[in-house]
Amino acid sequence: MGFQIWNKNVREQMIKRLRKRLSKQSLLLFFFIAFAPVSFGEVSHVSAGNNYTCVIDDGAVECGGENTVGQLDVPLLSGARELSAGARGTVCAISDAGLSCWGRQSDGLLDIPKLVNPVKVSVGSRHACALDDDGVRCWGLNDYGQVNVPNLGNVTALAAGDDFTCALSGGSLRCWGADHDGTLDPPAFKGLEILRLSTHACAASREGLICWGPNDFGESIAPPFTEISDIGVGGLHTCAITSGKVKCWGFGNQDQLLVPDIKNPRMLALGSGHSCAVGDDGLVCWGRKRSYLNDDDEMAFVGGMVEPDRPETVSLYDYFKRPRPVLIEEKGPLDYVEDLPVLRAATQSGVVISTGSTHSCHLKTGVVECFGDNDAGQTAVPVLTNPRQVSTGFDFSCAIADEGVVCWGDNSRNQASAPFTINPIQIATGGRHACLLDGATVDCWGWNFNGQTDVPPTLRNPRQVTAGLYHSCALDDDGVHCWGSNAYGQTDVPELLNPKYLSSGLGNHNCVVDDTGVVCWGDDEHGQAQALPLVRPTDVSVGYEHTCALDDSGVQCWGKNSQGQLDVPVLDNPKQVSVGGNYSCAEDATGLVCWGYMGLEAVQVPENF
């Protein structure tokens, strides 16, 4: 676990150089291997988005981490006294100049309404709210009514979350907007003073804590803490300062729950994969390093320190499955299909296999059948007329049929609520979102916490789309484009030579077939992004922490082999390959063949497949 400490004792010798650098919108850094605090400034506020962190230091706003949408391009402000870093890259601050916002421009978040003496501000995923002399004002996207402020009394706390808003008004808690798993139904509790929102919500008084909303990883289970001085909510985790100690719980895939020693903590801020606190030694951050380090793995804040690097590990429970689509209908001249025999074979034979984390679906002779876990109904296939493609996500599935796009299984993030389509060509299901190639356009829906459904408007004639855990990719006339989370570099597309086929998967890496063979990028902890030398590869599929490809010699797999997912059996003329969580499948002359483990048991293909 690496983390930064930033405090206040050696300021004078640095300040002249720091202000000069900040005027150029850059970050000054000091990197130390020894574990010792280095000091700077007086941090009065801290706020975190998904992949970045901002502070108010002696009235000036400074931000660090990833600069995906300009969230680090801080304007010159003086006398800053309130700060809010939105989940997806919009930052707002109240200073002597009033309310200023910068960063992500979509959804109208930078169209600030006229305010009179604003005193509070909170930025959510796609909307923002502020409190001024006239009350609460909200702006931005309003598809769930999240900016329709109800009649409120004396507002003492205000927070904007993932398409919903809450306020402490007249001693009571009021919420409005999207009702995701009970986000608008907070439990009763008296004396609340602190309010924090993300995808879930928490509120606290000195004597107790309540949390509500989505609870996928226990993030909304409120421990019986007392003497609470602050709370923080991240994407899927929660922290509280209780009895002078920071305690965290929920989703911990990137060490965001492993709290370092913090002297007298008094403020918290949480992103999707990192956590920060302010104590006697200043600002301390831990968890995903990209959210407070720069591109050179150096501290993004002045006077920082880190421990020696430790590999960032993940677990299967922490991740969802993005199986790749196999069948692509030819709608017009798609020359790339001619270079991919596996796609032509799948089209001609009418067979498509798609593997999820712990369930799999199979399309053959116009019938979709699924097997594996069915806790969310993901294998309960509805009636489909002439289905021609199927794709399996974490715990939901989608198909293209005469009815259009039909999805079934978990719909907790609207991932199974397919939009109206005109000419559906190819479907891709991810963790809790899905993407569709509909004619010449790409449409994505479902969970958008990391911007994975924000399709870039610059795509030119897209011909394939993929969906990962928190990211998506498309292949068009200009090559491969990816958007959403970049925690493992999965959206940093390398140079490719005539890419023909793309696969995105569970373990936050992608692979393509291009003129040089198979090229992969992203998470490479177990070598899953290091492609083997292959002879005329025609298919590639990305799984949790392993990858498989089909070439002239057959199916080849590499990466992690903890459950036999690389132990390819003897196959008879394999035609396509699809990789799941810790298992792999292929279609050969005998039918569907799978190896490895599906959940806790060795994968077993039903006899009728």
Quick one: pLDDT at residue 39? 36
In this prediction the pTM is 0.56
Quick one: pLDDT at residue 182? 93
List, for residues 489-514, the tens digit of each pLDDT value: 899 999 999 999 999 977 789 999 99
List, for residues 25-68, the tens digit of each pLDDT value: 332 222 222 222 223 357 899 999 988 999 998 888 989 888 87
Whether the predicted pLDDT of 540 surpasses 90: yes
Quick one: pLDDT at residue 142? 94
Bridge partners (DSSP) of residue 278 are 267, 283
When pLDDT is cut at 50, 70 and 90, the band that residue 21 belongs to is very low
Quick one: pLDDT at residue 165? 97
Quick one: pLDDT at residue 93? 96
Cα 508 from Cα 313, distance rounded (Å): 12
Segment 298-315 shows an average pLDDT of: 36
Mention every residue, 6+ apart, whose C-beta is less than 8 A from residue 200.
Answer: 161, 183, 211, 212, 213, 214, 215, 219, 220, 233, 238
Cα 266 from Cα 207, distance rounded (Å): 16
Nearest to 340 by CA among 353, 355, 323, 327: 327
Tell me if 52 sits within 8 A of 71, measured CB to CB. Answer: yes
Whether the predicted pLDDT of 213 surpasses 50: yes
Bridge partners (DSSP) of residue 8 are none
Bridge partners (DSSP) of residue 53 are 48, 64
Residue 343 φ/ψ region, left for φ over 0, alpha for ψ in the -120 to 50 degree band, beta for the rest? alpha
Instruction: Encode 253-322 in three state secondary structure.
Output: CCCCCCCCCCCCCCEEEECCCEEEEEECCEEEEEECHHHCECCCCCECCCCCCCCCCCCCCCCHHHCCCC
Segment 143-157 shows an average pLDDT of: 94
Cα 307 from Cα 150, distance rounded (Å): 48
Whether the predicted pLDDT of 320 surpasses 80: no
Query: Residues 106, 110, 111, 116: what is their CA dihedral angle, to the nearest 10 degrees?
Result: 150
Side chain identity, residue 213: G
Residue 604, exposed/middle/buried by CB under 10 A (0-12, 13-18, 19+)? Answer: exposed
Quick one: pLDDT at residue 264? 94
Cα 215 from Cα 124, distance rounded (Å): 19
Cα angle 249, 255, 261; round to 5: 80
User: What is the overall mean pLDDT for the chain?
Assistant: 83
Rg (CA), the chain: 25
The pair of three-digit structure tokens given for residue 261, joined into one six-digit string? 């020693």
Segment 225-239 shows an average pLDDT of: 94
When pLDDT is cut at 50, 70 and 90, the band that residue 350 belongs to is low
Cα 578 from Cα 84, distance rounded (Å): 43
Please state the φ and ψ torsions of residue 344, each to the nearest 5 degrees.
Answer: -65, -40
When pLDDT is cut at 50, 70 and 90, the band that residue 136 belongs to is very high
List, for residues 367-390, the tens digit of each pLDDT value: 999 999 998 999 999 999 999 999
Side chain identity, residue 21: R
Whether the predicted pLDDT of 139 surpasses 60: yes
Pick the more confident residue, 407 or 57.
407
List, for residues 329-342, the tens digit of each pLDDT value: 322 223 333 333 33
C-alpha distances out from residue 165 to 148, 152, 525, Å:
9, 13, 39
Question: Which fold does the domain 317-602 belong to in CATH?
Answer: Methylamine Dehydrogenase; Chain H (2.130.10)
Cα 465 from Cα 504, distance rounded (Å): 9
Bridge partners (DSSP) of residue 1 are none
Least confident of 115-124, 227-236, 298-307, 542-551: 298-307
* Burial 249-269, CB ≥16 within 10 A → b, else e: bbbbbbbbbebbebeebebbb
